[in-house]
Amino acid sequence: MPHIDYYFSTISPFTYLAGNRLEEIAARHGATIIYKPFDIGAIFGRTGGTPPKDRHPNRMAYRAQELRRGAKKAGLPMNMQPAFFPANGAPAAYAIIAAQKEGGNVGALVQNVLRAVWAEDKNIAEDAVIRDCLTAAGFEASVADKGLFTAADTYEANLEEAITRGVFGSPFYITDTDERFWGHDRLDDLDLHLSGKL
């Protein structure tokens, strides 16, 4: 059975644009997914990346066009200047980690968190927002309170593991054969790979 380790940031606009395509691809190929949220700011600093606020205006102008086009292609609503960006993505990441241990529709939870940032102008660092995201995905709101110390340790471990495995951005997908795919726009390539065509 194929497997995908999914490294992502809870505040990444390009991760939001992936929608539920990863879950659809995994279902089509019978693949399992482990969700591994990490601190995108920390990974930029350690792998040669530059946070958006420090990028040249030319790069930011192109990024804005890519996001607008990506949202249109994906059919997703998107606020190009969300009210709470960058937010502290760690609390939502902890909830995702805890929810994964509980079992359930983690993909829906991840999408709820990202939609809260990029389409609903909500602050995903707020407890009430996280609880709403959990319940909308079918989890108990109390999951947000479970294993916080363990989740925090896992969040840090995900970052170190991501760097060790070659991750430098979000979203990033790594198969059990160590094939790596960076970006929502590489999901078609992941699909082809799992089909044995790439």
pLDDT reported for residue 45: 87
Q: Are 33 and 175 in contact (CB under 8 A)?
A: no
Report the predicted TM-score, pTM, of the whole model to 2 decimal places. Answer: 0.95
pLDDT reported for residue 9: 98
C-beta neighbour count of 185 within 10 angstroms:
15
pLDDT reported for residue 65: 97
Which DSSP string corresponds to 23-80? HHHHHHHT-EEEEEE--HHHHHHHHT---GGGS-HHHHHHHHHHHHHHHHHHT----S
Q: Is the pLDDT of residue 193 over 90?
A: yes
pLDDT band, residue 149 (cuts 50/70/90) = confident
pLDDT reported for residue 58: 97
Q: Is the pLDDT of residue 120 over 90?
A: yes
